[in-house]
Amino acid sequence: MQSTNAIADTSFLIDWVRYDKRDLIFNYYNLIFITENVLNEIRTETPLLWISRWMIENRIKILQENTEVRNKALRVVDFTRSLPVRSADYPEGFDLIEFNIFCIQFSFYDFSHNEIVKVRGERDKVYGDSILSSSLDKL
């Protein structure tokens, strides 16, 4: 496997921590990035505790927002609203933009449940060797 890093969205994290062997993900990825807005969306204890544990171990890191990325993420949300599938919400748009930025420098895996994020990435061919997948794909 070429990539050793991943970016995870809220849906992935909530679903993934239900898996009893959830810590095995770190056998495949050295580091998982999540955005501030993803962390803010999680309200239940189990995912928050799991994230906290791995943040202490420096295996999960938080990506901070900036104005440029925020504006691009909002454009992604607007674009997906015009399509005949479920639109991306702001955290998914933000993840996609961050994913694009990282893919310019590294091969990354992105964990998302939103099919429009996957479809757009495949259509735009912007990810190079990086891969979009869901928690079900990983299981």
pLDDT digits (tens, 9 = 90+) for 81-133: 888 878 888 777 777 777 666 655 554 444 544 444 444 444 444 444 444 55
Task: Name the domain count of the chain.
Answer: 1
Q: What is the average per-residue pLDDT within 42-64?
A: 93
Residues 6+ apart with CB under 8 A from 137: none
Q: What is the pTM (predicted TM-score) of this model? A: 0.64
Beta bridge partners of 31: 5
CATH number of the domain to which 93 belongs: 3.40.50.1010
Residues 6+ apart with CB under 8 A from 139: 19
Range of the domain at 58: 5-138
